[in-house]
């Protein structure tokens, strides 16, 4: 039963983190819309367009990744038995891996590699720290 709670915490954290990333990216898409006629299924054309995006679009992406990792890790730890950090770490690792996949698949400025990974790790660690179990004798 405990293993199912760990799994549920991981899945809930991944879902919540993904929703947050999607919401922030949705705002970014409104601020930086695709050109008319661009087919997002045309990988080459889509990558060419991404390469032309302004810095503000990439900064919003950093916010999305960091906020997604924060939310996912925080929820996973909050739901985990004894508020274990294990599900939160798993969520953070998987979301960081998704970020690396995104960095590989689409063209990003070189600074996005370290910044994106750092945003994920910082967000995930902060989410884990803020939802740590209360010290004995203290309420949260």
For the chain, what is the HEC assignment?
Answer: CHHHHHHHHHHHHHHHHHHHHHHHHHHHHHHCCCCCCCCCCCHHHHHHHHCCCCHHHHHHHHHHHHHHHHHHHHHHHHHCHHHCCHHHHHHHHHHHHHHHHHHHHCCCCCCHHHHHHHHHHHHHHHHHHHCCCCCCCCCC
Q: Is residue 13 part of a domain?
A: yes
Burial 88-102 (b: 16+ CB within 10 A, else e): bbbbbebbbebbeee
Q: Residue 106: what pLDDT?
A: 86
* pLDDT over 70 percentage in the chain: 97
pLDDT above 70 for 4: yes
pLDDT above 70 for 138: no
Q: Residue 119: what pLDDT?
A: 98
Which residue shows structure tokens 């695709």? 34
Q: Is residue 33 part of a domain?
A: no
Q: Is residue 35 part of a domain?
A: no
pLDDT above 60 for 139: no
Q: Residue 54: what pLDDT?
A: 94
Q: Residue 110: what pLDDT?
A: 93
Q: Is residue 37 part of a domain?
A: no
Higher pLDDT, 134 or 115: 115
Task: Give 49-95 pLDDT, tens digit per residue.
Answer: 988 899 999 999 999 999 999 999 999 999 999 999 999 999 999 99
Burial 48-65 (b: 16+ CB within 10 A, else e): ebbeebeeeebebbbbbb
Q: Is residue 139 part of a domain?
A: no
Q: Residue 26: what pLDDT?
A: 95
pLDDT above 80 for 37: yes
Q: Is residue 96 part of a domain?
A: yes
How many domains does the structure of the chain reveal?
1
Mean pLDDT over all residues of the chain? 93
Containing structural domain, residue 83: 2-26+53-130
Q: Is residue 36 part of a domain?
A: no
């Amino acid at each position: 039963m405990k293993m199912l709670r760990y799994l549920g915490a991981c899945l809930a954290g991944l879902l919540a983190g993904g929703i947050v990333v999607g919401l922030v990216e949705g705002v970014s898409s409104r601020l930086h819309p695709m050109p008319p006629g661009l087919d997002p299924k045309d990988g080459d054309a889509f990558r060419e367009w991404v390469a032309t995006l302004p810095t503000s679009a990439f900064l919003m992406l950093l916010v999305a990744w960091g906020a997604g990792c924060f939310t996912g890790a925080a929820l996973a730890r909050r739901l985990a038995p004894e508020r274990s950090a294990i599900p939160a770490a798993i969520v953070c690792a998987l979301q960081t891996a998704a970020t690396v996949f995104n960095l590989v698949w689409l063209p990003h400025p070189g600074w996005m590699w370290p910044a994106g990974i750092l945003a994920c790790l910082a967000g995930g660690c902060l989410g884990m720290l803020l939802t740590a179990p209360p010290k004995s004798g203290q309420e949260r």
